[in-house]
Amino acid sequence: MTELTKRILFAVPAAIFFIFVTWLGGFYFVGLITFIALFIQREIAILAGGAGFEPDSYFPYTIGLWILLTPFLSHNLAIGMGIFLLFVAFQIFKTGDTAIKNLVGTFFSGIYAPLGLLAIIFIRNMGDANMGFALTIAAVLMVWGNDVFAYFGGKYLGKNKMAPTISPNKTWEGFAFGIVGALVGLAIAYYSAPASIPISLLTLAPAALLVSIFGPIGDLTASRIKRAANVKDASDILPGHGGFFDRFDALILASPAFYLYLYTLKILGYVSF
């Protein structure tokens, strides 16, 4: 069985499951995103350790859970400050040459995935249930569309390397095709959503560009971390896809980019949800 076959056989039912849980929303969606984020944190912690920045064993997950559950917690800022004080107090008294590296590794593995994926929870909670579902699917389809079009565009037409020292297979031609793919994903979500999105497709189009910029940056970030740890994949838990970090690396930065764009539209009065 080829790697592509494995990817497809796993990706199709996984995508259906993800879309179904997204449609359910509420506790189910938050639980799924939290589950994914914790797995990514674990993979990043292992990668950071392999690169010489081994994090604390517990604080990354404490920080991550606080970030992801912030919208639902009472006194969330006070809780965060308490975690921060305990974290610094415990970490600063560690001895050895790697103490500061451990501090950096803990911060990064604690914040990166949870803060990025918190944005997709915010998007799901925008407007009513149908509106939040439509916008979340738009975010996911833009990332998927960008990934698929960039892969095939780069494979068959790619000549100019984007970041040869970090990810040798990425090309500027693939990047351009990725923008088209993100626009296709946005259009599919826009016209097939169960609710009418109260924003014109033309107004939403710049979001596809933002996703096409920050999604690949998320991918390059993951590649750089894996290269530092001297591994190909974050883990082998997902057949044909590596780890959760490998699968969701683009969404971690694409989600905040899309959320901030929608938030800006709201501030400017283009939307009222």
Ranges 11-15, 57-61, 181-185: which has the least confidence: 11-15
How do residues 126-150 score in pLDDT, each as one tens digit?
Answer: 988 889 999 999 999 999 999 999 9
Domain ranges of the chain: 3-267
Q: What is the average pLDDT value for the chain, to the nearest integer?
A: 89
> Can you give the pLDDT at residue 129?
87
| Residue 215 and residue 247 in contact, taking contact as beta carbons nearer than 8 Å | no
Task: State the Cα–Cα distance between residues 176 and 157, nearest whole angstrom.
Answer: 11
The answer to whether the Cα torsion of 232, 18, 184, 68 is positive or negative is: negative
Q: What are phi and psi of 26, to 5 degrees?
A: 55, -140
* DSSP tally for the chain: helices H, then strands E: 9, 2
At CA 77, angle to CA 75 and CA 78, rounded to 5? 65
pLDDT of residue 179: 96
Instruction: Place 195 in a pLDDT band, splitting at 50, 70 and 90.
Output: low
Whole-number pLDDT of residue 167: 80
For a pLDDT cut of 70, what percent of the chain falls above it?
Answer: 95
